[in-house]
Amino acid sequence: MNPFIFCLSFALAFLIFGTPTNSTVQIDGIDISKEKFFVELTQSWNELIVPYRRVCSQECGMDEIENVFSNGPLAETKDLKCFAACGYRHAGFLDTENNFNTKAMVENIRGLTEEICETCVNKYKNDENLQDKILAILNCNINLIFKKEMKKAQL
């Protein structure tokens, strides 16, 4: 097969199907996917959403995802934005007027500190679209938590 065609086919498959499930998770160029803190954090975050994973998957018209956080920050897709917003509502991280309940977030999201939470909520407070805002805050929290843990692990 022509090497150009092979590379083009691979690139298209990557765009269509995303990264392989055994992919690495890079933060600041460092693979953290095998680090103990990564495994423990993502497992606890996946457990946090178990009670409403099915209802949120159905609400968003997507297949149920068992390990949504297994690759770290979530992709910015319509389905995952909907899923994150649904999860935040069910977890009590939003009030009835769509204000963030940072106290509940810090108390329930493993690794999240008040400082990280406030940093991320304030960074995206002016975003108009609620689903975009929630996913941006969620990913901001994930990245800052990982960076904090990397510092503790001296990576």
What pLDDT, on the 0 to 100 scale, is given for residue 122? 97
Per-residue H/E/C for 10-35: HHHHHHHHCCCCCCCCEECCEECCCC
DSSP 76-112: --HHHHHHHHHHHHHHT-B-TTS-B-HHHHHHHSTT-
Per-residue pLDDT of the chain (155 residues; tens, 9 = 90+): 444 433 333 333 333 334 444 567 888 888 898 899 999 999 999 999 999 999 999 999 999 888 888 888 888 999 999 999 999 999 999 999 999 999 999 999 999 999 999 999 999 999 999 999 999 999 999 999 999 999 999 87
What pLDDT, on the 0 to 100 scale, is given for residue 21? 46
What pLDDT, on the 0 to 100 scale, is given for residue 131? 97
What pLDDT, on the 0 to 100 scale, is given for residue 152? 92
What pLDDT, on the 0 to 100 scale, is given for residue 78? 95
What pLDDT, on the 0 to 100 scale, is given for residue 20? 43
What CATH number does the domain located at 25-152 have? Answer: 1.10.238.20
Residue type (1 letter), 55? V
Both tokens of residue 45? 């975050």
Residues 6+ apart with CB under 8 A from 18: 75
Domain map (residue ranges) of the chain: 25-152
- Nearest C-alpha neighbor of 91 from the set 112, 120, 63: 112
What pLDDT, on the 0 to 100 scale, is given for residue 71? 82
